[in-house]
Amino acid sequence: GWAKTLEQEGVQVVYGVKGLKTHAKLCIVVRREPHGIQRYMHFGTGNYNEATARLYGDISYMTCNDDFGADASSFFNAITGYSQPQQFRKIEAAPLGLRDKILEMIEVETQRKQQGQKAHIAAKLNSLVDPAIIDALYAASQAGVTVKLNIRGICCLRPGVPGLSDNISVISIVDRFLEHARILYFYHGGDERLYISSADWMSRNLDRRVELLTPVEDTACRRKLIGILDTYFRDNTRARRLLPDGGYEMLMPKKNQPPFRSQEALYQQACEAVRQARQSQRTTFQPHRADGQES
């Protein structure tokens, strides 16, 4: 396979961490540039797999921020055995502090709501099973926090149960592409916090896998993630709503409401972005004049 081929070409290949499945998605490119060594990082929710890349819907975040670079290097040093896991500056990793970070962010929203402030949580995941996180979301709902969840697969939380989860709503979207991205949003007193993650909220991911939770701090990227979440929650053709009894009902356009298919909308946005990028890269001709002037 590819691993053996890479080893034959001199590449150091590490086959995961003993006792844990490595499920994090991270790539570092290190370049020697005029100003010195520069690291470029790619954090993702999807596998580096050319087959699933055509079938899955995922999120990528690229940055050359020094703090992310230090974290990425520390992470690789840890999983390759060159050092023990270090305290990260930006990211969180499972099975180290990822669950604790999620619980902390949910608790912050709960406390803010109890103090009379606005509080809101939104998340897009494949599965929600972890008991501690479910209990924290129930507590947030009982405090009055609005919680909107997009859980494509297994969801052990029951939304809309009086006195327990009145303020929680859950949808599931199944369409042309397999929904695979994990996106987290916390209002955080107006200083909105957004994350992407390789991990679902399941005990297997948080306790028995190597996973990453990555904050997205770039303003434009944060706006894009919020737009993606909003697009999914507007779906009224491929979305199903989870009911308090564990059943699902299809969402349909309301009277005088046009049908809206989230994957189609995001697909068209992506196509338009590619079209504009190609248009901006078109070759132009700049003639030289006899008098040395350029037009």
For residue 294, what pLDDT is reported? 55
Report, as an integer, the average pLDDT of 175-190: 98
The torsion angles phi and psi of 223, rounded to 5 degrees, stand at -60, -40
Confidence of residue 293 (pLDDT cuts 50, 70, 90): low
Residue 26 DSSP one-character state: E
Residue 295 pLDDT more than 70?
A: no
Mean pLDDT within 192-204:
98
Residue 56's contacts (CB-CB under 8 Å, 6 or more residues apart) are: 46, 47, 177, 178, 179, 180
Rounded Cα–Cα distance for residues 89 and 66 (Å)? 10
Cis peptide before 258 (omega within 30 of 0): no
Check whether 1 has a pLDDT greater than 70.
yes
DSSP state of 9: T
| Domains of the chain listed by start with CATH number | 11-278 (3.30.870.10)
Q: Model confidence over 246-292: pLDDT tens digits?
A: 999 999 999 999 999 999 999 999 999 999 998 888 777 778 777 65
The answer on pLDDT for 72 being more than 60 is yes
Q: Which of 23, 42, 180, 188 is catalytic?
A: 23
Longest dimension (CA), the chain: 83
Residue 23 falls in the annotated catalytic set: yes
Burial class (CB in 10 A: 0-12, 13-18, 19+), 161: middle
Mean pLDDT, residues 235-245 taken together: 99
Give the mean model confidence (pLDDT) for residues 40-48. Answer: 97
